[in-house]
Structure 1
């Protein structure tokens, strides 16, 4: 009898092994495709923080945490031991909605609105309605984190808000006692996705969410205590109790004393930073303009003398103020019968050395004499002055000494300045000037020290994009940034905007800008940045030149409804 080759045995063995692995993968794929799975998760509800009643900010009794993964292709649900858990105690169910099959690339949020998950929602609601214990349902969490871990991330806030409200109403129709949880991670920009009081019972934050660990858009907090502080601060506009949830990747370091520290902070600033007047439910009404201010930052004086220009922009610092350079520039602008935007960058004095602890220095009174001198100069005229102070504070870089700082410290320094010795003259309008990026509202200093909100709009969304044709439209950037200010009640002034490229491309971009400005009556003024950008901010990349021709500016002004 002929011996079978050992190679044949190896080949057969490998074939069997490969087939087994394939069948196993098919089993799991089949299950995820056709079955909604519910399972016990490793998350923990560590505590609750109620900003509306600090006495309720206590450790919570045991809450069992479950996850439910729903797919549009599922034919039935495997609830595991969830039904039994609902009879024994309080339960938090984190519900996820996923698309499978041909619809995989669709927007899962719009598919929810089409009713693709209604049957699954209704069955879950009917089951939890039978429980005699408290049931929390948190739907599609971490929506604000730019990570791509979940299919509902990197989606527009409006899509998320509409689908969340749809889901909440579906659950409440069958299970009105269920507590609906809005579940951001607590990442910068979370309140962009706030759905409103009517469909939310609780908010939640996660200490060390997997989504955040996979992205580096913003620096990670070095301690859990700092993370808790920052995440609770970001929810200061939300008047709902907050569940504090631990990571599902292991035990979360947590101390209840940190909650007491947060309670003390809220109590200390209960009339300003953490005032209950901050709580919002809908878009706050902003005043409408009666006329439009048109300005330029134009140190080379190429556009200043155009008849439509009525505002000039001056950037300055303590050093220029002390040397007298600022007063000279300011007087020249006033003599041209222009209103003036003054952007004060308080980080270099006459020595030219930056103050790396500028916020603390302001609060300690180090710059009181400079503030007094500045106020005296800009208040000694009847001309309107727009005083913009410590701008672009929310960008997580270190270009300015007031960036990447504690929001509470920034707010206190802003308020100190604007209220110093009763504040500047009546001709001076107080301008709070974020870039308009994620997390802007974290630094909102309060309506009593702000007359205008300023934002900056430049065509290049990223300094690594050098092709002018890839610049974002003015309208795209404006709509994104304006939405972030929807809970703030002050009008807007676009104190910086610019576009690079050929004159024909710039004209096309400015046509879109004019249409956008005309369609938004809450914009009281615009100011073009007619110069190249600061090379130091662009590293090894050539700084963009935003300059436009006189003819382009004339065409832009003619398109605006004054």
Structure 2
């Protein structure tokens, strides 16, 4: 009897502990296995940029914003709340977030989407959307381009994100044809890398004052409201879709946004045939360039490699002062005398006074340097050799190494076009080169198909200043894949006008063989030019500047590898 009593009380105690534990851990359990429905009115629609007037005029003042957080192992969802929101509101904006139920660090929610883990939720959403008598706009996994770890789909491969987005969009559209799919970057530099293409997108949304953007300190955050919105819209100039403008945390309002949009429209009308030309909107974006032979060159001011038979082009850098003092003519003529073509990078900063012009782009546009530009063209157009003319390179990097960096992209583009169109007719021997580093946000600075013959990018093995171990450098192939992908909007041949690797000769040879194989496999590469010198010590502060120099033997191994599949020009 005592044994039965003890068993009875023990069972009661265990049940009480289980019930207590369940109640205590219920919120945590719920976050893992229950799809969450939330009001998202804190992220308010305050404007629509819609040149073609495709969005109904009543949407701004009459839209309910809600969010649904899907779990990969959800046991239940608040379907009724979602259904009520859709039925009771004429226009609904739904933000869908896909989260893993467990092991957030090791689980890729994008891969889970592609595996079909959320198919049940997509179909259920479609069924509810079909009940609406108004407009339903669906955003999916927003702010994907911001380099922070706020959401599990950030810091992911753009191609994987695009595949998952198109999977979600395609399945939802199939079951709910009237739904409007919204691609949802915040408008941060690099958003274009995640553009999934026009076929599965109806609208775009951007966010003013997003939490993720505040967590990142890579780019300037002290912009005026006008410039902040202007730059965000500028980054979308290759996408022909209306744009929802959302304001997070109560920042901004409809009246203020409308006033700013009117100012932006005025600027855009001034550049409607150039920077904001409809030429930008031609999809699909495919690079059809195929080389017949390859140009191999060097930047080699110490003259260690320039006489090697493989070399066909030399790279020189020129500033205003060198043109003013005649040093440029001497430098240029030496290359011409060696019967080499020339990559000429115009660095428009220091004059003969050796004082940097902090407003050099605006000064160029105002005509301050017309005399120097005229002199430059008179020299380079008088020869038979090809001159690859490159203006104000690496403009997209958000630093102040050069006075044309961290500037307004519209001003940069205008200065590029001014410089390249300085002569009424382009001399036949001049090829115009647009030269970003190939970093995040490069596309924002593209000056237009009509003034670009080649795109150049820079590939250096060292990914970080503080790395001293040569083996920690990144492979040429990896860097090229990332940087060339960012040029996917432009059907132009690529000229790698700067590349280099530091370290022992054995390591450099290994890195260069990988480079040669990458060049062989990518027919859109028309030229490569090795940077055979140490980098500028001033740019590295207290850290020793890397020396990219290679031996003649390394150059021969590299060129021999290249010759296996095509001839050098």
CA distance in 2, matches of 1:54, 1:47: 14
Q: For 1:256, what is the secondary structure of its paired residue? A: helix
1:229 lines up with 2:230 in the alignment: yes
Between the aligned partners of 1:332 and 1:21, the Cα distance in structure 2 is 86
Of 290, 293, 298, which aligns to 1:291?
293
Q: 2:502 aligns with which of 500, 507, 531?
A: 500
Distance change (3 Å), C-alpha of 1:91 and 1:310: same
CA contact (8 A) 1:313 1:342 kept: yes
- Give 1:282 deviation, angstroms: 2.3
Unaligned runs of 5+ in 1: 1-17
Q: What is the CA–CA distance in structure 2 between the aligned matches of 1:236 and 1:214, rounded to whole Å? A: 26
Aligned residues: 544
Report how far residue 58 of structure 1 moved: 9.3
Residues 449-458 or 415-424, more deviating:
415-424
Q: Deviations over 1:471-512 (max 9, x none)?
A: 110000000000000110111000000001111111111011
TM-score, L = length of structure 1: 0.94
Q: How much does 1:218 deviate?
A: 1.5
Correspondent of 2:416 among 408, 414, 417: 414
The answer to whether the 8 A contact 2:207-2:246 is kept is yes
Using the TM superposition, give the Cα deviation of residue 20 of structure 1 relative to its aligned residue in structure 2, in angstroms: 11
Cα 1:21–1:184 shift into 2, 3 Å: farther
> Of 303, 306, 329, which residue of structure 2 is paired with 1:304?
306
| Alignment partner, residue 14 of structure 2 | none
Distance (whole Å) between structure 1 residues aligned to residue 541 and residue 24 of structure 2? 48
User: How far is 1:225 from its partner?
Assistant: 2.2
Closer, same or farther in 2 for the Cα pair 1:260/1:513, shift >3 Å? Answer: same
Q: What do residues 281-338 of structure 1 show as CA deviations (whole Å, max 9, x unaligned)? A: 3222332111100000000111111100000000110111111111111111011010
Secondary structure at the counterpart of residue 257 of structure 2: coil
State the TM-score, normalizing by the size of structure 2: 0.93
Contact 1:496 1:526 in 2 (8 A): yes
Q: Which residue of 1 aligns with 2:380?
A: 378
Alignment correspondent of 1:207: 208
Is the Cα contact below 8 Å between 1:238 and 1:280 reproduced in 2? no
Alignment of structure 1 residues 70-85 onto 2, 5 Å: 70-79=70-79, 81-85=81-85
SS at match of 2:502: coil
Aligned position for 1:29: 28
How big is each residue's C-alpha offset from its partner over 1:157-202, in whole Å with a ceiling of 9 and x where there is no partner? 1001101000001111111100000000100010110001110000
Equivalent-residue separation in structure 1 for 2:96 and 2:132 (angstroms): 17
Q: State how far apart, in whole Å, the 2-side matches of 1:267 and 1:257 are.
A: 16
- What is the 5 A alignment of 1:95-174? 95-102=96-103, 105-174=106-175
Deviation readout 1:59-108 (Å, 9 max, x if unpaired): 82321111110011101111463322212220100000011225751221
Partner secondary structure for residue 250 of structure 2: coil
How far 1:426 moved relative to its partner?
1.3
> How far is 1:57 from its partner?
9.0
* Equivalent residue number for residue 455 of structure 2: 453
Structure 1 vs Structure 2 CA RMSD: 1.9
- The equivalent residue for 1:69 is 69
For structure 2, the 5+ residue unaligned runs are 1-16
8 Å Cα contact 2:516-2:561 kept in structure 1: yes
Aligned mates of 1:123, 1:414 — CA distance in 2: 51
Instruction: Give the Cα separation in 1 of the matches to 2:107 and 2:556.
Output: 44
Q: What SS does structure 1 have at the residue aligned with 2:423? A: helix
For residue 161 of structure 1, give the secondary structure of its aligned residue in structure 2.
helix
Cα deviation digits, residues 357-412 of structure 1 (max 9, x gap)? 00110111000010000000000101000001110000001111111010101111
Change (3 A) 1:372 1:423: farther
- Alignment-derived partner of residue 9 in structure 2: none
